[in-house]
Structure 1
Amino acid sequence: MNNHIKVILFFYVTILFGCTSKNKTIPKKEDVLLATVYNRSLYLSEIKEMIPSNASKEDSTLFLNAYVERWVRENLLMHEAELNIPQDSNIDQLVRDYRASLIQHNYEQVLISLELDSTISATELMAFYEKNKNQYKLDGAIVRCRFIKLPLTAPAQSELNQLWKSDKAEDFVKLIDYCNRNATAYLLEDSVWYQLDDIISEIPKSLLSNVSMSSRKDFKLEDENYKYFYKRFDYIPKGEIAPLAFIEKKASSTILQKRKLKLLEKKKEEIYERELKKNNVKIYKK
């Protein structure tokens, strides 16, 4: 092994097990040096919390071996990289910029969690939709419907047929329960808009060759494995403006994002004005 690299592996498992209990640290004088690479050192105290408390001595030893080997290789690569950094790469500045970015981002998240009003009224949501709805044209057709994909081996199919035809609220509850127990896939909330392509993907193309999903409102299909039940209540084709109910989450997210940006800009200006008054900011114009 290269003379510049001293790899010293001390697997004092007895020491490890005596020192890795919760909230217990290894005194510095008793710490165990595990490896060194040039001027970098790895001590047991740095990794002892990573070892599961219920690990056996053998598992702990295997873990330490693997960790140390990985640490050595990574630090050798780091040393090699430091020797070969181009002089014009300005790594220190990049690190400072990245650190500043992380600190700023963390502070912004704290501000947002403390001060952002995340409540969106129905009136505000509708006003946003009316103003921006042309941006929400459908990439594919959507439907309000009920759909069930049922294995041919499912029990009590006559019961399902009755529940499928019924308009009674208590039968709808039974239908949901039946599908929970037996269906491979199902969509039963007829007030929700679904992507038509998602439903089509559940049905073999061979069965749909003579069925137009854009015009058929009700059908039952069957192949060698499944039965397919479909009942459509509403349909909006591709290229039309999406209803608010379909894009509500996306619209709400956009509203909140705009609020975040507005809040952060306001805070920046408040901090600027405050520090300017305290003479903590000096701008030297040429």
Structure 2
Amino acid sequence: MNLRSKGFKGIAFIVVMLLMSSCDWLQFKDDSPVEGEKPIAKVEDQYLYKSDLKGLTGNEMSAADSINRVSQYINKWVRQQLIIAKAEDNMVMDEAELDRRLLEYKYSLLIYEYKKKHVNEQLDQEVSDEEIQEYYEKHSDNFKLMQNIIKGRFVKLSKEAPKISEFRTKFRAANIDEEELQEYCYNNAQVYMLDDSTWHNFDELIIGTPISDIPNKVQFLKGNKFYETSDDNFRYFLRIKDYKITDEISPVDVVRDQIKTIIINKRKVELSNKLEEDIYESAKENEDFEIFGQ
């Protein structure tokens, strides 16, 4: 018999009944230490009650989601209590030290939540282009490329596509009719990327094409502005407007979002530290604390 499966089915059954009723139907042996409340799970002398599940589910949740969440909670509680019981049987821990550490954790959690609330209320998440550019220039060595990137165009056409010769001429032309090129690709291309104002990961762009088999990608990028190749079923057209290779400094446009995140996270740290310092200085000025013996 699969005990784990049996246990899960039992929990699921209890959960369904909990959600369908007020739990009065449960006919547990009434050995619960809480008078008037019947338990829904027990590990040694520890009990879990319906009241412990308050807030786990809401009206916006489906019945299936509610059952799943409560089942997970009950199963987690059982596992946790089993481990706690085993730990208590096999470990000797100073009660005062345990209380001290629990209190320390409680205070740390309280401070963390208060700081997070303060930061969320005070944080300015607007980052200007000037701030991004300034940070980029000061820390550009931190933004070396991990891959080759290009600005360019890429089109994958079936060999049966119409007017390929005409398309080839227009694709290579100095003055491209953007609307005409877009319409042709929309109607005939298997894959196409025509935005040559944005940087693209070169390896991702050419994956699954004969170009990906070229051994020296850096030499390829340096030596080609236009490239055309084919396999059994398709023709591939690549036009390279600009490129950057691995280990070069990334263009600012590529790391703009990354820099914005860095700046915002830095503001969060500064707000958190300032809050702590302001509270301390205010208390010091108002003589709200005293350190004896100093």
Whether TM-score is above 0.5 comes out as: yes
Would you say the 8 A contact 1:35–1:42 is kept in 2?
Answer: yes
Matched, 1:281 2:289: yes
Indicate the larger mover: 140-149 or 84-93.
84-93
* Matches for 1:28-177 after TM superposition, within 5 Å: 31-47=37-53, 50=57, 54=63, 71-87=77-93, 90-149=97-156, 152=158, 158=164, 161=167, 164=171, 167-171=176-180, 173-174=182-183, 177=186
2:249 to 233, 241, 253: 241
Say whether residues 1:230 and 2:233 are aligned partners.
no
Matches of 2:287 and 2:131, distance apart in 1: 41
Alignment of 1:242-281 (within 5 A): 242-281=250-289
C-alpha distance 194-15 of structure 1, shift in aligned 2 (>3 A): closer
Q: Which residue of 2 aligns with 1:3?
A: none
Contact 1:176 1:188 (C-alpha < 8 Å) held by counterparts: no
CA positional deviation for 1:272: 0.8
Alignment gaps of 5+ in structure 2: 1-9, 24-33
For residues 104 and 66 of structure 1, the distance between their equivalents in structure 2, rounded to whole angstroms, comes to 29
In structure 1, list runs of 5 or more residues that go unmatched: 1-7, 21-27
Contact between 2:149 and 2:243, CA under 8 Å: does it hold in 1? yes
CA distance change for structure 1 residues 63 and 146 in 2, over 3 Å: closer, same or farther? closer
- For 1:173 and 1:149, the matched residues in 2 are separated by 13
The one-letter code sitting in structure 2 at the alignment partner of 1:37 is: V
Compare 63-72 and 74-83 and name the one that shifted more.
Answer: 63-72
Amino acid across the alignment from 1:41: Y
Deviation at 1:64, TM superposition (A): 8.2
Please provide the CA RMSD for this pair: 4.2
Per-residue Cα deviation, 1:65-105 (whole angstroms, up to 9, x for no partner): 88766644442222111222342694444433333333333
Q: Give the equivalent residue in structure 1 for 2:7.
A: none
Deviations 1:20-50 (A, max 9, x none): 9xxxxxxx98754223223321223444855
Which deviations, in whole Å up to 9, do the C-alpha atoms of 1:102-157 show, x marking residues without a partner? 3333222222221122222222222222222233233333211122345x488668
**Distance change (3 Å), C-alpha of 1:165 and 1:54:** same
**Tell me, what secondary structure is at the counterpart of 1:161?**
helix
Equivalent-residue separation in structure 1 for 2:88 and 2:142 (angstroms): 49
Deviates more, 1:257-266 or 1:220-229: 220-229
The total of aligned residue pairs comes to 265
Q: Do the aligned partners of 1:207 and 1:221 also contact (CA within 8 Å) in 2? A: no
Taking the aligned partners of 1:161 and 1:280, their CA distance within structure 2 comes to 79
Cα gap change, 1:157 to 1:112, in 2 (>3 Å): farther
CA distance in 2, matches of 1:142, 1:12: 53
What does the per-residue CA deviation read over 1:189-236, in whole Å, with 9 as the maximum and x for residues that have no partner? 211112333334443467525982332121122223544321110012
Query: Residue 19 of structure 1 aligns to which amino acid in structure 2?
Result: S
